[in-house]
Amino acid sequence: MLLAFLVSDTTLRLALLLLLASMPFTRLPHHPAMLATGRQTAAPVQLHVEAVELDVRLEPTTYTLAAKAMLGLRSRSLKPLPAIRLLLPAPFAARARIYAVWDHSGFLPWYRARLENDFLIVTTFTQPIRPLGQRWLVVRFDLNFTGFDVPDAPAQLTPHAASLHAAGWYPLPAGVEPSQFQLNKLRLGLRLPRAWRLRSYTESKHLHTGTEFAEYELRAKAVSANTLLFSAYAQ
């Protein structure tokens, strides 16, 4: 009985080996994110934008929007983040002029790169963002609207009118999709030509009227990228 069992067991093992040898080799997905679907998925966004503070000056005669965007960032990474990639999407990529990038440690080195039709700003931190840490990052830039003709764009400026949405016209961390962008808190400091009339769609306050500009402050909570903050026009 024992001899018969060993023979049958050996025969079964040989049969299994021959069957496996005859099967084509298939490479299995090696990344955990690919195991369920067999297709590679996008890497998770490492930085979450918790708050945005904007200072904007509109200069209609030169078609210029001068801005300072302050991004309140929180890391979702368990490792220090030594650098950041900021994306300014089309149609503003070709119209942007970046002047400086800085955080609490001072001005940061940066360079620009093209990513299809978008404008990529890559900067290295003097002090990396610690795991799950927070950081305010500031970008000063201009947008020029000469010859601009994109009716549904989130920012508009002509010699006679202007409008701004909550996002889509200033740099955000690469991987943050503006169409899915949800912002907890936004503040906009706005300077308009004093003769212009403001129509605000969120909480607003008139701060000061000077010889050339009128200054306002707009605040909003729980806004999406397509939220219209204001429109303005010459009287």
Let me know if residue 113 belongs to a domain: yes
92 found inside a domain: yes
Cα separation, 119 vs 143, in Å, equals: 12
- Which CATH number fits the domain that encloses residue 128? 2.60.40.1730
CA distance 205 to 219: 9
pLDDT of amino acid 41:
34
- Nearest of 153, 167, 143 to residue 59 by alpha carbon: 143
Length in residues, the chain: 235
Q: CA 228, 65, 137 angle in degrees (round to 5)?
A: 80
Q: Is 19 domain-assigned?
A: no
- Domain presence at residue 187: yes
Q: Is residue 132 part of a domain?
A: yes
59 Cβ neighbours under 8 A, 6+ residues apart: 65, 66
**Is residue 34 in some structural domain?**
no
What is the chain's alpha carbon radius of gyration, rounded to the nearest angstrom? Answer: 27
For residue 95, tell me if it sits in a domain: yes
pTM of the model: 0.79
Domain count, the chain: 1
- The whole-number pLDDT of residue 179 equals 67
Domain interval for residue 175: 47-234
The answer to whether residue 166 sits within a structural domain is yes
**Residue numbers of the chain with a pLDDT score lower than 70:** 1-44, 178-179
Candidates 129, 168, 140; CA nearest to 46 is 129
